[in-house]
Amino acid sequence: MKITYHGHSCVQIDNLIIDPWLTENPVANITLDEVVVDYILVTHGHNDHIGDTLELAKKYDALVISTVEIADYFENKGVRTFGLQPGGQYAFEFGSVKMTPAIHGSSYTKRDGTVIPMGIAAGFLITKEDKLIYHAGDTALFSDMALFKGVDLAFIPIGDVYTMGIDDAVEAVRLIDPKVVVPIHYNTFDLIRQDPAVFESKVEKARVKTMRPGDILN
């Protein structure tokens, strides 16, 4: 399993990409032309997460997996979609995806400034090749994270302002108890500047893997 971090919240697992914000992402390591995917998972409607979903989905006839509201939005644009809601799980060819809650907003802002409500925000528990991977999306800390059992790898936001900051993220890691944790959603722009070394020093049990955009997890 090849897991690549493309910066911000964008994580690629083989032919699957989560929150593909590349074109306008100031820290992305690749351009849209360099990504080949069959599945696109979108945690919520904010532009830094929907990103290039439409272009990628059209280019590869990729399946967009997201909340029912976001799935409906893309279905109306001629894209193949699969809608879930928190608590729901479905077995795809590559593995299964369970949608988790996230405490966060979910709206999409069009180029002309029109804001489209996109339901609620979510995270994903992805089971692939016997590994359980949690992508938290954008979220605050919530105590029900303790209910996620057997997580091998967790992608957790630490940027603060819009999501958990470092101290809440450390508590999230304590609740989730993953084997490995990768901090995301920080240092993309000034408002979410954080030192991942501080996060690393505060996490007690899990192995922290700080990834730069373009890094492959090993």
Which residues of this protein are in contact with Ni ion, per CB under 5 A? 46, 138
Indicate the residue whose CB is closest to Ni ion: 46
Q: Does the footprint of Mn ion cover residue 168 (CB under 5 A)?
A: no
Rg, Å, the chain Cα set? 16
| Closer CB to Mn ion, 21 or 74, in the complex | 21
DSSP 216: B
Q: Between 46 and 135, name the residue whose CB sits nearer to Ni ion.
A: 46
Under a CB-based contact definition with an 8 Å cutoff, are residues 134 and 122 in contact? no
* Smaller CB separation from Ni ion, 159 or 196: 159
Angstrom distance (rounded) from CA 92 to CA 115: 32
User: Please, what is the minimum distance in Å from the beta carbon of residue 47 to Ni ion?
Assistant: 9
19 binds Mn ion (CB under 5 A): no
CB-nearer residue toward Ni ion: 52 or 138: 138
Answer with the entry of Mn ion, Ni ion, none that 98 interacts with (C-beta below 5 to 8 A by kind): none
Sign of the CA dihedral running 180, 100, 113, 22: positive
Report the nearest approach of Mn ion to the CB of residue 92 (Å): 25
- Using CB under 5 A as the binding rule, the residues of this chain from 138 to 157 that contact Mn ion are 138
Query: Going along the chain, which residue ranges are E strands?
Result: 3-5, 11-13, 16-18, 39-41, 63-67, 81-84, 89-91, 96-101, 107-109, 115-117, 122-128, 131-135, 153-157, 180-184, 207-208
Give whichever of 9 and 81 is closer to Mn ion, judged by the CB atom: 9
47: left (phi over 0), alpha (psi -120 to 50) or beta: alpha
Instruction: Kindly state the tokens that stand for 68.
Output: 């029912």
Least Cβ distance, residue 57 to Ni ion (angstroms): 20
Q: Which of 123, 134, 3, 12 lies closest to 66, judged by CA?
A: 123
Taking the complex as a whole, how short is the minimal distance between the CB of residue 137 and Mn ion, in angstroms?
A: 8
Among 19, 48, 160, 168, binds Mn ion (CB under 5 A): 48
Q: Provide the binding-site residues for Mn ion, judged by CB under 5 A.
A: 48, 138
